[in-house]
Amino acid sequence: MDKETQHMVGDKGMTDLLRKMQDQAKKEGRSYLMEHECKQVLEDMGITTTGSRAARSEEEAVEIFRSIGAPVVLKVLSPEVVHKSDAGGVKLNLKDSEEVREGYRAIMDSFKGRNIVGVSVQEMARPGIEVIVGVTRDPTFGPVLMFGLGGVFVEVLRDVAFRSIPLLENDAQDIIEEIRGYALLKGYRGIAGDVPALKDLLLRISRLVEDFPEIAEMDLNPVFLYSSGYMVVDARIILGEKPPQPPRPASKEDLHDLFYPRSIAVIGASGTRGKLGWNVFCNLLNHNFDGKLYPINPRAEKILGIKAYPRISDVKEPIDVAIILVSANMTPEVVKECCDCGVKYIVVESAGFAEMGEQGKQIEQRMMDIAQPHGCRLLGPNCSGVINTHSSMVQSIGIVDELTRGNIGLISQAGVCAAGMLWGLRHIMDFGIVATIGNKLDINETDMLDAISEDPNVDVMCMYLESVKGGRRFVDVAHKVTGRKPVIALKSGRTEAGKKAATSHTASLAGNDEIFSAIFKQSGIIRARDYEHMFNLVRAFAKQPLPRKEGVFIITYAGSLGVIAADTVTDNKLRLADLEPELKERLKKLLPEYVGGLNPEDYTFSQDAEQVRKTIEIGVESEDVGSFIVVLQAEILGSYAEALRDIDYKGKPIMAVVAGKEFAMEDVIAIEKVGVPVYSTPEIVADALAAMYYYGKNTLER
Ligand code: ADP
Ligand code: MG
């Protein structure tokens, strides 16, 4: 039998076996499998365990002992006892029948009066490196796998890592390498762990849970890892209901017309300055939306000079997108009208829905019930619509000033904050599509990521998330996207609220934030610490090419900032570039006599734009230079822009540091406009360069 068929046969058998055990457990009123059952399931999955056989009498225990051979371990077997060793339920290293008899009696004594099935008799495994492998169910992403070193590493240091199930081969490698204890597995004092065997174990567990989704939690604790192979010593499986199916995906073709509509109706458009219906309509007009606009308002002839219609049904032309701004309780009726008119996308910008409580939730459900049969897609409610600079469309609920067409895609859960940020950021960042998703009733963050990343105008994506609705699909979509375009995400709401009391060890370690971090790693998303960090990174990715070498060339006007930059370069796992001797000679000629050091090339307060240009041009020629950091002098900042614009960087990225940049914004904007991102500290720049370098190396085209 080849390996593949063997696995399939094993799977079928395993599923049947689990099904039977599940029925038995249900009958006995327990939600978990006992150790000997778990090990049987694992063995069936091709996983090596000590085995475990149930003995219901002293005689039987001795009999099993004789068939296994010394030494053995006895463990209490009871549907009531979860932590066996706590109350004297584990007897180790029993070498003859007398010890087995004594062990048996001792266990029976300790658990007198409890519901005892008997004892399990098993082979005593030789010691190895203790690891823990676990499974728990995350409310957002479904089953996740946990891995860590056992004992104090997990109990005290919480040195564990997570991945969403199913794991790909490289996920198994990554989760092992992620824990700090990996150094111990690689080899310490002549003892190393069999990492390939461990990987195989993780992948089998992932498959087991994939095949039998009723597995809610699992602890293999401990597993002994050897220099060759491993042994599962203890196992626990907790069964639950099958998890619900994730929401239907919006295929990306679906969303094209949402970003490039030919016509938009604004229901609740208003001619009264200051009303939200006025803002939205103003934005569409002022940004010169290049399709048709239909304001809908029963009390107006014209709105801002455009013919108004009492109802959407009075518009006799096809409408791609309808924006709804009427009060929440009226929306279902309006959604119905839109659907009857064949509207493809409805953007509900009104608030007062699920975020307000039960009644709002019911209104949302009514909207879905109406829209779905028509194949009409809903964005929002409680959102601020979509901006697409490439179709001159601004649907925002707050007035947005002039925007330049750009290559950044932004998905934001909070509409208001997207608008507020744009007001300032538009000076130094050029957005392509900005999509706010609000309550994500229908179109969610995953649909948006999938769709926007396909847009040829968008080169880099960023997301502000408070939750994820797409579940596991988010991981798959993000993984696909990050292989072509960088994604930077900020996740807020790091609370542990709502975390249920956990039965398994794994579940107790799986905090919401840990899982999100793991999901981002697994899918290649770069996680931002805060808003500032997110936009710093996005700006760098959007404006500059990826460094293809670790070597960084630093050019500075002040020694101290050069030293700090050099430190941060190293801190971020990059290094200083070493230029070729001939280039060094040329650099020396540019420097004033009284200074030394060629990287950082330090001009000690005699730096000018022309020198910076010449220095960069020498650096560009070096094989070892992957990127540039230029520390510019705030006092003469205005003089650099032109020089920086005219350099042929030959595909190497450059970023500027300007201490005190917030007091020279006009000049900063001028430099940003020529495509060089400006930051206030060397730390920020080194962090961004490293993010770009490692994204290119590890994630892109993986
Ligand atoms: P618990 O329910 O308390 O987790 P375990 O089955 O994990 O019980 O047993 C407790 C400890 O005893 C394990 O951490 C391991 O060190 C040791 N142990 C248990 N079973 C075996 C075995 N078959 N071979 C070797 N050591 C064992
Ligand atoms: Mg245990």
Residue 125 in contact with ligand 1 by CB distance below 6 A? yes
Distance 92 CA to ligand 1 centre (A): 8
- Of ligand 1's listed atoms, the one at least distance from the Cα of 236 is 2
- 613 and 524 within one domain: no
Give the relative orientation of helices 358-371 and 331-340 as an angle to the nearest 10 degrees. Answer: 10
- Of ligand 1's listed atoms, the one at least distance from the Cα of 126 is 25
Residue 85 in contact with ligand 1 by CB distance below 6 A? yes
Q: How many domains does the chain have?
A: 4
- 299 and 152 within one domain: no
Distance 125 CA to ligand 1 centre (A): 9
Q: Whose CA is nearest to atom 5 of ligand 1?
A: 234
- The predicted-structure confidence for 566-611, as pLDDT tens digits, reads as follows 999 999 999 999 999 999 999 988 887 766 678 998 888 788 999 9
- Of ligand 1's listed atoms, the one at least distance from the Cα of 73 is 23
- 512 and 445 within one domain: yes
At 94, the pLDDT band (50, 70, 90 cuts) reads: very high
The least confident of 282-286, 407-411, 414-418, 678-682 is 414-418
pLDDT value at position 245?
74
- 82 and 31 within one domain: yes
Let me know: does 652 contact 626? Beta carbons within 8 Å.
yes
Query: What are the φ and ψ backbone dihedral angles of 483, each rounded to 5 degrees?
Result: -70, -15
pLDDT(32) > 60? yes
Residue 90 in contact with ligand 1 by CB distance below 6 A? yes
264 three-class SS: strand
Residue 247 falls inside a structural domain: no
**DSSP symbol at 185:** H
What the block records as the tokens of 225 is 């890892």
Q: Which residues, including other chains, have CB under 8 Å from residue 157's CB and lie 6 or more apart?
A: 180
- 172 and 49 within one domain: no
* CATH classification at residue 641: 3.40.50.261
- 298 and 272 within one domain: yes
Mean pLDDT of 244-250: 68
Residue 49 in contact with ligand 1 by CB distance below 6 A? no
CB neighbours of residue 681 within 10 Å = 16
* Nearest-ligand number for the alpha carbon of 125: 1
Residue 244 falls inside a structural domain: no
pLDDT value at position 246?
67
- 209 and 180 within one domain: yes
Mean pLDDT of 126-146: 95
**CA distances for 587 relative to 144, 220, 609, 617, angstroms:** 54, 60, 15, 10
pLDDT value at position 404?
96
pLDDT(504) > 90? no
- 320 and 418 within one domain: yes
What is the span of the domain harbouring residue 134?
Answer: 129-239
Residue 245 falls inside a structural domain: no
Q: Domain boundary at 123, 158, 185, which?
A: 123
Q: Give the pairing of strands 386-388 and 393-394.
A: antiparallel
Distance 138 CA to ligand 2 centre (A): 22
- 153 and 14 within one domain: no
What the block records as the tokens of 68 is 């296994």
pLDDT value at position 198?
98
**DSSP symbol at 444:** -
Percent of the chain with pLDDT over 90: 79
pLDDT value at position 188?
82
- Of ligand 1's listed atoms, the one at least distance from the Cα of 83 is 2
Residue 38 in contact with ligand 1 by CB distance below 6 A? no
- 483 and 525 within one domain: yes
* Nearest-ligand number for the alpha carbon of 89: 1
Residue 636 falls inside a structural domain: yes
Residue 627 falls inside a structural domain: yes
Residue 168 falls inside a structural domain: yes
Mean pLDDT of 371-396: 95
- 161 and 119 within one domain: no
Give the relative orientation of helices 35-44 and 3-27 as an angle to the nearest 10 degrees. Answer: 160
pLDDT(691) > 50? yes
What letter represents residue 81's amino acid? Answer: V
Distance CA 457, CA 604 (A): 42
* CATH classification at residue 406: 3.40.50.720
Q: Domain boundary at 123, 155, 189, which?
A: 123
Q: Domain boundary at 239, 261, 276, which?
A: 239
Residue 149 falls inside a structural domain: yes
Distance CA 318, CA 321 (A): 9
- 334 and 316 within one domain: yes
* CATH classification at residue 114: 3.30.1490.20
